[in-house]
A and B are shown apart, each in its own frame.
Chain A
Amino acid sequence: MTKQNPKAVIEDKRPELEKVKEEKKAHPMAAFVPVPSNWRFETQEKKEKIILLLRRHWFTNLSWFLAGVFFFILPGILFLFVSFDFMPLRFRVVGLVIWYLVLAGYFFERFLNWYFNVFIITDERIIDFDFFGLIYKEVSDAKIEDIQDVTYRVGGFVRNLFDFGDVFFQTSAELPRFEFRDVPQPARVARVLRELITEEEIEKMEGRIR
């Protein structure tokens, strides 16, 4: 009889939904948030539960963040190499204050854009919240039972390294194709969706109506 290697990784073969529901509470600024307890959205029904809340992977913020850091240090660099003696001191000080005020606004606006553009998977629907610009929003949703096909894609070195990609849904709803772009753990998201679809099909067969 062969001895089992005690160090061998025991594969967790439980359904993905179960694993997601048992995960400990994620950081409020995480991009993959299982069962977020303090989140509610305006069209959420009373008994509807959020299973997964997803945002674009933090890596997608790197470009604007680095640009912001560059603009943060730019005045320091400029003051070292360029003489601003032609400018009265009060203009230099106020100019600097305005520069950092605008920069703070830029960071804040980009953060808000990332934080609130979310993809939500509930036990009944998938919802895509998109906020464009300052006062334009678009909310799309599709019922789990209308989802016909789930595909995910992870391409490129960076995406493979940080495990983020796109998940596509084909639906029979008004909006035939849904996309969750740049979400973390897309394979896991696809598995959760497939299990939810299976659950819905079983409920339909058993004749249960929510």
Chain B
Amino acid sequence: MTSAPVTGSPTPEQFRAKVRGWLRDHVPRKTPGEPFLQWDDEGVARSKRIQRTLWEGGIAGVTVPVDYGGLGLGSAYDRVFREEAADYRMPEEFGNAFNVVLPTLLAHGREDLKKQYIPRMLNGEHIWCQFLSEPSGGSDLAGLLTRADRDGDVWRLNGAKIWTTGGNYSDYAICLARTNPEVPKHAGLTMFVVAMADPGITVVALKLTDGSQDFCQEYIDDVVVPADHVIGDVNDGWRVATTLMMNERTAVGRGWSLGGSKGQSEDRGIAFDPALLDLARRTERSDDPHVRSLIGESWVMTAVQEQTVRRVSEAMRTGHLPGHAAALLKAMSGATGRRQGEIGLEVAGSRAAAWRPGQASRWGVGRLSSHGIGGGTTEMQRNAIAERLLGLPREPSPDRELPFSQIRKNTSPGRN
């Protein structure tokens, strides 16, 4: 996805000066405690405005080829941008667009699709989401049920998608659907570009166990897609999806934030979150050796996780570890999240079950939502580590050889 440098392109230091000046004069700084993503009218409008500003300043799409509206600069310039942007509010709701969809389009998209859609991501017009998981299955992505049938000049899509981040605020979706059920499951998939404005798409926000509502579910009823809105070839969608997932992992390893964050690679030293110790003091248990050991354990997990994120990210960047190593980080966060939830509950005692209205520290909620499911279950991370890093053989299964129509599946993709 690199292109030849533009004639007369700036030196990294000239570029740094330009980025620094433009951000200082046109982009708001981060405010402490603000959420990373803000999926509401205000948050999305602000991010579209900020992205538009970056575009107008000539600093959007640093590594994207000039033909598609980018700057066509090398990765060194991207690092410069991320360093300079670390203290500014970045349009993180464009994360899927820039981290996942854009590089996938560059790798597999036809020229006209790239020219049509990439500039309108860069100028802040279009937010994108991913239509991958379905209610009938998330881990077994290639077993998806949403189907696309050719009807003259168009495709007609029917089915359902789930776990889309920002589905209710997206303009376009990259959508994997089945175009041939009479071949093994990986061979009958195609990747589409779908307009969210299509009247056949119904978006419903999902509420999670802890009450948060960042994910959506979509019902797809006879959604019409032009025949040329296919990324890659028809029935070659699994290859495109593999690129897409690789882009996602790479972005996670690099740091999902569009601006990078200071301290992500820089070492800030081991810091202890005082919340648990404060809690133990309030409950007059801070002298209890068992409680002290639990608090220490919590701090050890946090510190080791940060150290491991730094190590693995760096190793992925330098090629010492493959992209699949991102699964180590996801699996570790799943394992430690659960234990952190247990420790919080144990130190808080009864206070985790009920509290005065408005109280901030809801320790029981930490236990409630300490599963490692979001972004791919811990079990799937373990498969990736075992099969891709350790080289252990797959479980034998019939679904890789038999035609999709002949294998057992969850039949109801529909409304629940």
Q: Do these two chains interact?
A: no
Residues of chain A whose beta carbon lies under 8 Å from any beta carbon of chain B: none
Residues of chain B whose beta carbon lies under 8 Å from any beta carbon of chain A: none
